[in-house]
Structure 1
Amino acid sequence: MSATVRPETNLVASQADAFKSHLKEALSESPGELTVDLSGVTAVDSVGLGVLIAAHNTLAKQGGALRLENVPGDILKLLRAMRLDRHFHVNA
């Protein structure tokens, strides 16, 4: 099973708790594969990356996978610089 989460705001510290809640809800409904559609996101900070990494780790322990879709260019560059594109399934 898979679920999709579309953040309505940037993945930054001030929005992290709300984003975590959306992810937890999606994971409880569909623990297999989780897609995060970043088409509406223009910024990700270290806290936002931490939330994505935690979701990835949770899914990996359950045999699932995290997918990032519609990743904007600047965020894609960040993911590549941090080599997170080797852990997440990333599609621009």
Structure 2
Amino acid sequence: MLQTTKDGSKTLVRITEDMVGSRIDDLRMQLQEVVKAGGIEMVIDLEDVKIVDSLGMGLLVATHNSLKTKDGSLTLINVNPNIYNILTIMRLDKHFSIHKAV
């Protein structure tokens, strides 16, 4: 579900499946472990993610909030254009960096 690579205070997290209700609890625990392990600057690669439901959106916001309390940051990369549109409509791009897949 998650593949992580750490480089100093920056952690690259690649999510390898859709962020939907049935998978959110496991994903939440894994992301919390990354934050607890000192992942202050987190870059989440969503290249393999085609669907993000409301629980997935909530998890992204919660991850951002957890990082923010540690003066950290969240960046999303390789975001599917449909997901990108939803994130920007929700104005989440005002809270963390979002980069559309090319």
TM-score bin, normalised by smaller chain: over 0.9
Matched length:
92
Q: Which of the two has greater helix per residue?
A: 1
Q: Which of the two has greater strand per residue?
A: 2
Aligned with 2:46 (options 38, 52, 72): 38
Task: Tell me, in whole angstroms, the C-alpha distance in 2 between the residues paired with 1:52 and 1:76.
Answer: 13
How far did 1:10 drift?
0.5
Paired residue for 1:74? 82
Kept after mapping to 1: 8 A contact 2:35/2:66: no
Unpaired segments of 5 or more residues in structure 2? 1-8
Task: Indicate whether 1:26 and 2:34 are aligned.
Answer: yes
Task: Tell me, in whole angstroms, the C-alpha distance in 2 between the residues paired with 1:6 and 1:21.
Answer: 15
Q: Percent identity?
A: 37
Q: TM-score, normalised by structure 2?
A: 0.85
Cα RMSD between the aligned structures? 1.0
Amino acid at match of 1:15: R
- Name segments (4+ residues, structure 1) moved above 3 Å: none
Unpaired segments of 5 or more residues in structure 1? none
